[in-house]
């Protein structure tokens, strides 16, 4: 084998070995997935409408998370790695949970005299506004996707929103002394 070919082959082999070692080191030093990325807004608005049951507030938080992960796939598109494949995996993993989420979400939103589309638009707008002023938005989204797609998570309710601003929207859970309002019964027809 000519010396120049031998040298090129040796350099290529050494490069591959170093790259593999660095890749292995990067994988082993990455912290385990966690939901530490999640934050709760500290600007609660006055409560409006009736209070929500636990399953209704969870449905609201699930929808906030769903919208935030969708926004992250779009807003962090220029980052490496792109979150579009992660969002696709997120959507596939939690599709059934999202379908089950629709009934309690509808109840919660109806209690606040909104429709679901208006609520989703407000969530997307709030998230978009918070993303613009948050330099760690894409890093939090990365951690959020790692958590949501980890094997430890098997339900959408285990995936908190990156920023839970349900309190900012005047949504609150019923306390022990405040029962949830029941829908008024329809009067019987005569």
Whole-number Å distance between alpha carbons of 157 and 49: 24
Phi, psi of 110 (to 5 degrees): -65, -35
Identify the top-confidence range among 11-25, 29-43, 106-120, 139-153: 139-153
On the question of pLDDT at 3 being above 90, the answer is: no
Residue 47 per-residue DSSP state: P
Who has greater pLDDT, 90 or 189? 90
Q: Which run of H or of E encompasses 58?
A: helix 54-75
Q: What is the mean pLDDT of residues 34-47?
A: 70
pLDDT of residue 133: 81
For residues 94 and 130, the answer to whether their CB atoms sit within 8 Å is: no
Token pair for 86 = 């992660």
List of long-range contacts for 72-79, beta carbons under 8 Å, 24+ apart: 72/131, 72/137, 72/138, 72/141, 72/144, 72/145, 72/162, 75/128, 75/131, 75/137, 75/138, 76/137, 76/138, 76/141, 76/142, 79/138, 79/142
What does the DSSP assignment read for 122-144?
Answer: HHHHHHHHHHHT-TTHHHHHHHH
């Amino acid at each position: 084998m000519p010396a120049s070919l031998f040298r090129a082959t040796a350099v290529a082999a050494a490069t591959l070995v170093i790259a593999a070692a660095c890749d292995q080191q990067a994988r082993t030093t990455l912290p385990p997935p966690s939901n530490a990325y999640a934050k709760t807004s500290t600007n609660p608005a006055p409560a409006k409408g009736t209070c929500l049951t636990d399953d209704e507030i969870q449905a609201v938080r699930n929808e906030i998370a769903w919208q935030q992960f969708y926004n992250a796939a779009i807003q962090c598109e220029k980052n490496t790695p792109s979150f579009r494949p992660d969002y696709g995996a997120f959507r596939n993993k939690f599709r059934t949970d999202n379908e089950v989420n629709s009934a309690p979400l509808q109840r919660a939103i109806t209690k606040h005299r909104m429709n679901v589309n208006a609520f989703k638009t407000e969530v997307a707008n709030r998230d978009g506004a918070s993303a613009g002023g948050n330099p760690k938005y894409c890093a939090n989204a990365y951690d959020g996707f790692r958590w949501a797609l980890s094997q430890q998570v098997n339900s959408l309710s285990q995936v908190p929103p990156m920023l839970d601003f349900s309190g900012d929207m005047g949504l609150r859970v019923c306390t022990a002394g405040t029962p949830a309002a029941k829908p008024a019964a329809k009067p019987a027809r005569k």
